[in-house]
Amino acid sequence: MSNLILIRHGQSQWNKERRFTGWADIDLTEEGKSEAKHAGELIKKLNIEFDYYFSSYLKRAYNSLTIILNILDRSESEIVKAWELNERHYGNLTSLDKDQMIKKHGAKQINIWRRSYDIPPPPMSNQHLYRKNIYLNIPKDKIRESESLKDTFERVVPYYKKKIEPLIHDKKNVFISAHGNSLRALCKELFCISNEKIVDLEIPTGNPLLIEFSDSFKVKNYKYLDSKRARKILFNV
């Protein structure tokens, strides 16, 4: 049997400010750091030896994982960074205030851009303040000007199948620190969630989701380690 932990980074500064973050490289708040520390304490109680650690390229995910590794006394462990695990690219909405955008476009339209499966936000303009930073280390032909959850799924899941799933099959224990939408995409695959139901799935910040696989590599058990902050996993049934 193998174990997989998925964790969305702790609260970021733009989570706190209710701004669209996407690929903007925004760091953790003090509360976010505390969430990561608490996550590490919960994980430490499991007494699971993890063999591999994965993170997105974005500092809020990477720094959450380094905080957790310090709690686990594994600060020297190698972390594999993958842009494929980055948050969904919010296009021209990046950095904008969510409440202001609701006033401008209406709650229904913002909800479509945020929660729908296959409708992306408006593409990022060439003049956007964060454009250079976002595309600094990523080949432009690898990432769209904005992404729907479907677009995110189409980069996250192939990476998982190529780089991480074989480790699960080899009965290794794996840890992934990523983002709300990249983890929604992965959960869609792991839990066979339909296109219709995925819009209702929310991933809490800083709460580890432990997934246990059977010997046939199917999901056997799963639970959020902090039950008070858990979210329901919606199966395709």
* In contact, 54 and 79? CB cutoff 8 Å: yes
Residue 236 in any domain: the answer is no
pLDDT computed for residue 100 by the predictor: 97
pLDDT computed for residue 11 by the predictor: 97
Residue 115 in any domain: the answer is yes
pTM for the structure as a whole: 0.95
pLDDT computed for residue 165 by the predictor: 96
Residue 234 in any domain: the answer is no
pLDDT computed for residue 93 by the predictor: 96
Residue 192 in any domain: the answer is yes
Residues in the chain, total: 237
**Which phi and psi angles does 80 have, rounded to 5°?**
-85, 120
> Of 30, 29, 85, nearest to 52 (Cα)?
85
Residue 235 in any domain: the answer is no
d(CA 156, CA 179): 11
SS3 100: helix
All residue ranges of the chain with pLDDT < 70 are: 137, 234-237
Residue 220 in any domain: the answer is yes
Give residue 192's domain range. 2-229
Query: Exposed (0-12), middle (13-18) or buried (19+): which is 131, by Cβ within 10 Å?
Result: middle
Instruction: List Cβ neighbours of 95 (8 Å cut-off, separation of 6 or more).
Output: 14, 19, 20, 21, 24, 129, 130
Domain of residue 29, CATH code: 3.40.50.1240
Residue 66 in any domain: the answer is yes
pLDDT computed for residue 237 by the predictor: 40
What beta strand segments (E) does the chain contain? 2-8, 52-55, 79-81, 174-178, 209-213, 219-224
**Which phi and psi angles does 172 have, rounded to 5°?**
-95, 155
> How many domains, in total, are found in the chain?
1
Q: Which residue has the tokens 């303040």?
A: 129
Residue 174 in any domain: the answer is yes
Catalytic site positions: 9, 87
* In contact, 46 and 98? CB cutoff 8 Å: no
